[in-house]
Chains A and B, each alone.
Chain A
Amino acid sequence: MSTPAAPATRRSEPAATAPSPSSPQSRGRRRRAGTVLGDRLTLARAVPMIPAAVLLLLFMAGPILYSLYLAFTDSAIRGEGAADTSVVGVENFTDALTDPAFWNSAGLTIVFTVVSAVIGQNLMGLLLAILMERAHRGVTFVVTAVVVAAWILPEVVAGYLLYTFFAGDGSLNAILSTLGLPTQDLLYTVPIIAVAFANVWRGSAFSMLVYSAALSGIDSDIHESAAVDGAGPLRRIWSVTVPLLRPAIATNLMLITLQTLSVFGLIFIMTGGGPARQSQTLPLYMYEQAFSYGQLGYGTAVALLLLLIGAVASLAYLRLLPEEEKR
């Protein structure tokens, strides 16, 4: 996570760690070179940061802090808790942790994240990025355009498109029966897998772009020498490419995990969380509790538990980063 700051550090650190003011020469040079810019931030110079600070405090930090209060109340849209909200302590959390529907959703969320992000998008992205280096240029151009198009389409459109793809009378079954293969009914039998595939379709472009950018930074001489030493293509990918990509893999995994944990619209459009809650991941469960049943306090508690899962996953990925990247 430290690399993004690299340009800034490169610029500011020499100044900060420069031979300290004890040397009169360096002091004089610095004063001449950086009379205005590269200088310390003063209150007046921080003024342009105010609009962003106000927006972030009001609309991001505010709600997050408020959720820490809301999760411990019985706040509701209607009924008891709507007129006068009272603090109920950890009741919402104990309710969640003893509700089988919560555990069902938590399990489905993990299945969805592992299948669609950690395995699906990640491997599909890596595969496409590696193939891009080898495949015919025209093929690469067209295929990446299609994959990226799937990514930039609005979430609701993607939801409908993948619904038609997996539906009983949909495209996938039409193709399967043309090929003489048995048809599928994933949306009813294992809807979580259908929505996970949908998320792979929608999200692989991100990993592909991340990995292809990272691969283009790898010197091809390393591959040449590995090939000369007799390493086959798969061996080269596993022993040369993957270790070199480790920082990119760790950050990519972290980003797509956080994105996938909070996917709402795609599943909401495709299955609505059903049938019988079989694809109700935590965001959908949270939505149902907060708005269909009006339990805002309970829904917020579930949202905090969702954030907790995200935080735990992020910490795990940070451990994957090589030491020098952590600083």
Chain B
Amino acid sequence: MTSAAETRSATTAAEEGGAGASGGAGRRVRDVGASGAGRLAGGRGPRRRLADAAASATMVLIGAIFLVPLLWVVLASFNTEATLSVAWPDDWSLGNFRAIWNAETTFRPLANSLLLCGGATLVTMTAAVLCAYPMSRYRFTGKRPLLLTVIFSTGLPITAVMIPVYSLFVQVNLVDSMLGAILFLGASSLPYAIFLTKGFMDAVPMEIEQCAWTEGAGIYRALWSVVMPLMRSGLSVATIFTFVMMWGNFFVPFMLLLSPEKLPAAVTLYTFSSQYGQVAYGQLAAFSIFYSLPVVVLYLFMGRSLGTGFAAAGGVKG
């Protein structure tokens, strides 16, 4: 019952840690705590407990259904005889992992993914932080329309612009260029990254920068050594979010990259079945695990603040 409130306070607390306790955030944490306590003090009758138990039971049921496909990929990866159905392996084996443990199948696609998504994340976050700073710190006419344009372009379905992008890339000879794919992927994530970054930057009070300014620091210096350290947690949420979304993206590299030696894991996984003739489901599962591992690790590393950060930025604030 209190978990949602706790998540909220946890993320706000995390924000505070980075941003140095702005008054508003602190007050919200206290409010949530107080109302939670009030509810506890109110006591819980048998009807209430029954309702709570029903809520738990429903959640377990939903969770079990959501779990089945995830269970399949884990169990099948250790089962060289894996079929389409989820099943406990008769003998656990690392055979599937051994079969795909080579440069061509696994390491090169993953390295390509890392190059593509890492490069694009770097492009996106550099441009986003630089762009968010003036938007957060200065007044100018057209600021609101500009912000609204940024917000609306976050909703632009990238799928719908891929044909003209492909067509343009053919004309300037950027198709099958890793740099071209990095720049496009970077640009396509930019509106959301600017929006997230600006939100986190707004939470950093300006007074501290003003000190830096009076001591003669330029704007880049102030941004780099004052503002960015203070919004560290927000920046890591934005960076990891950007990276995770790019890592899962299939359509962009599918359209823009052609040579087998340049393809990232998203695309080679699609060609996985055709590559080997008959589909080896165990190997497909093992490769899926390798491919998913980075984002799962990042998620575990960032914990709930990542998820709540996304949603807060995407839904509640937006």
Contact = CB atoms under 8 A, between A and B. Distances in A.
A169 B84 contact: yes
Given A51-B131, A147-B66, A201-B66, A264 B159 contact: yes
A212 B4 contact: yes
B134 to A, nearest CB: 6
A135 B199 contact: no
Contact of A262 (B59, B160, B209): B160
A41 interface: yes
Interface string A213-253: 11111011100100000000100000000000000100110
A193 B122 CA distance: 39
Nearest to A214: B316
B164 A16 contact: no
A149 B250 contact: no
Contacts, number: 368
Given A36-B210, A46-B134, A217-B316, A12 B139 contact: yes
Interface stretch (A21-29, A55-63, A97-105): A55-63
Q: Binding site of B, secondary structure by majority: helix, strand, loop or mixed? A: helix
Nearest to A167: B84
The 9 closest A-B pairs by CB, nearest first: A210-B315, A209-B311, A262-B157, A143-B63, A59-B187, A52-B131, A134-B55, A41-B140, A265-B250
Interface string B72-92: 110010000001111100000
B69 A162 contact: yes
Nearest to B279: A160
A290 B163 contact: yes
Interface in B261-318: 265-266, 269-270, 281, 284, 288, 291-292, 295-296, 299, 304, 307-308, 310-318
Given A55-B183, A60-B187, A67 B163 contact: yes
Given A4-B313, A55-B187, A209-B308, 8 more contacts: A41-B139, A52-B131, A60-B161, A63-B161, A131-B59, A143-B63, A152-B244, A174-B85
A182 interface: no
B213 interface: yes
A154 B247 contact: yes
Contacts of A217: 8, 316
B52 interface: yes
B237 to A, nearest CB: 13
Contact of B157 (A4, A219, A258): A258
22 contacts: A3-B316, A3-B317, A38-B206, A48-B131, A52-B131, A53-B131, A60-B188, A67-B163, A70-B163, A134-B1, A137-B1, A152-B244, A164-B72, A212-B4, A251-B315, A258-B155, A283-B157, A290-B166, A303-B159, A303-B161, A306-B159, A307-B157
A37 B59 CA distance: 49
A232 to B, nearest CB: 10
A1 interface: yes
Interface of B: 1-5, 7-8, 32, 35-36, 38-39, 42, 51-52, 55-56, 58-60, 62-63, 66-70, 72-73, 76, 83-87, 123, 126-128, 130-131, 133-140, 143-144, 147-148, 151, 153, 155-168, 183-184, 186-188, 190-191, 194-195, 198-199, 202-203, 206, 209-210, 213, 219-220, 223, 244, 247-251, 254, 265-266, 269-270, 281, 284, 288, 291-292, 295-296, 299, 304, 307-308, 310-318
Contacts of A70: 163-164, 167
B68 A165 contact: yes
A262 B314 contact: no
A59 to B, nearest CB: 4
A147 B85 CA distance: 20
B160 A146 contact: no
Interface of A: 1, 3-9, 11-12, 15-16, 36-41, 45-46, 48-49, 51-53, 55-56, 58-60, 62-64, 66-67, 70, 75, 124, 127-129, 131-137, 139-144, 146-150, 152-157, 160-162, 164-165, 167-175, 201, 205-207, 209-217, 219-221, 224, 233, 248, 251-252, 254-255, 258-259, 261-265, 268-269, 283, 286, 290, 296, 299-300, 303-304, 306-307, 310, 314
A168 to B, nearest CB: 8
A59 B120 CA distance: 13
A277 B311 CA distance: 34
Nearest to B194: A52
Nearest to B312: A213
Nearest to B39: A220
A16 B266 CA distance: 48
B70 A1 contact: no
B311 A15 contact: no
Contacts of B194: 52
A188 to B, nearest CB: 14
A63 B160 CA distance: 10
Contacts of B251: 264-265
A149 B299 contact: yes
Contacts of B56: 134-136, 139
B168 A264 contact: no
